[in-house]
Amino acid sequence: MQKLRERNLTAVLRGLSQPVLGICLGLQLLAERSEENGAECLGIIPGCARKLEGSPSSPVPNMGWCRVTTEKEHPLFDGIDSGTHFYFVHSYALGVADFTVATATHTTPMTAVASHRNFCATQFHPERSAAAGARLLANFLAMHG
């Protein structure tokens, strides 16, 4: 957020009307705030990105393949089954809320995919998620093509 503010990009990003896809940190930046350094974020998606809880079987950062469950129909998931695995690398996440399209679980459920107005975002890395990630990216392009 500091870099976005230094470059006077926060108002530009908030005002975008074209389709936007945030990836990983991009999802967290769309939130109102983050526990990471107490950051005030873009405020596009309600909520706060909170540090993941760890456990012996679920260390932080969460790195690896996690099952993603669709919670509501969305064009991003056309041709992608609920329960498909995607690749995650993160230590913070948004909880589950009205904007949640799909969830994953570390020690507790979290938003894996969010959608609000023209903004979509994934907590996982579609570009590192093999065929399912490529399909999701193609779906995003098709939604606005």
- The residues that are catalytic are 24, 125, 127
Q: Is 14 left (phi over 0), alpha (psi -120 to 50) or beta?
A: alpha
- 60 with 52: CB under 8 angstroms? yes
Q: Write the CA distances from 38 to 4, 98, 113, integer angstroms.
A: 16, 23, 23
Please provide the DSSP assignment of 37-102 as one string: GG-B---SEEEEEEEPPPBTTB-SSEEEEEEEEESS--GGGTT--TTEEEEEEESEE----TTEEE
